[in-house]
Amino acid sequence: MLIESTTLWDFPMQNYGKIPHGNNKYNGVTPAFVIWNLLQRYTKKGDFVIDPMAGSGTTYDVAVELNRKVKCFDLNIVRKEVEKADARQIPLRNDIADFVFIDSPYSNNIKYSDDNNCIGKISCEKTEFFDELEKVAIEIKRILKKGKIMGWLIGDQWIKKKFTPTGFLLYQRLNKHFETIDMISVTRHNQTSNTGVWHYRARKYNFYLRGFKYLFIMQKLT
């Protein structure tokens, strides 16, 4: 397996290899190769990796495979390796993490959890959505060691004839707390709209299906 060398990442499958990394049936599951690439570039063996919105635990599986120490948290617990915690209150001390990865909700389009505190229950059309994600960003900065890197994966929304540039609006918040290393476009596969019917509708009714997510790679400087 080779480390990606461009800012366009295209992984047709959620998993790589024969061993599962997370659960490809889980709502909003992260492509395992995204995490693999980030850990190969920005961490080394023995580094401490954190995922505060871990879902089905893809980050956990990849990190363990690469001999990194790892802690994963989520409001919705689907496996014992993921601990229950709100990403706005990560139960770790300051300046402890060597790398943080987060694949956050980009609106209330998917049911992530039954927990009323879930940020994924808030529409990205509301300022409150970005206020809550900024709280998560502040927590990530708190636990991240100075000079270390975090990766944040997020998409945009088009619904009911309205486009919301969720990624750009989040980036404005993140830019207040971190220095940008780079931005990656991650091709989206396997979403429910990736069918012939939806492609036909997109052309007929003059809209675009979401083809990629943003991956913001950012550094804590202070």
Q: What residue type is 57 in one-letter code?
A: G
* Averaged pLDDT of the chain: 95
pTM listed for this prediction: 0.95
Q: Does the structure show a pLDDT above 90 at 107?
A: yes
Domains and CATH numbers, the chain: 8-219 (3.40.50.150)
Tell me how far apart the alpha carbons of residues 192 and 49 are, in angstroms, rounded to a whole number. Answer: 31
Which sign, positive or negative, has the C-alpha torsion 144, 66, 72, 22?
positive
Under the banding of pLDDT at 50, 70 and 90, the label for residue 192 is low
Which sign, positive or negative, has the C-alpha torsion 104, 183, 8, 99?
negative
Mean pLDDT, range 49-59, rounded to an integer: 97
Give 89 or 191, the one with higher predicted confidence: 89
SS3 content of the chain, % helix, strand, coil (to 5): 25, 25, 50
Tell me how far apart the alpha carbons of residues 209 and 213 are, in angstroms, rounded to a whole number. Answer: 12
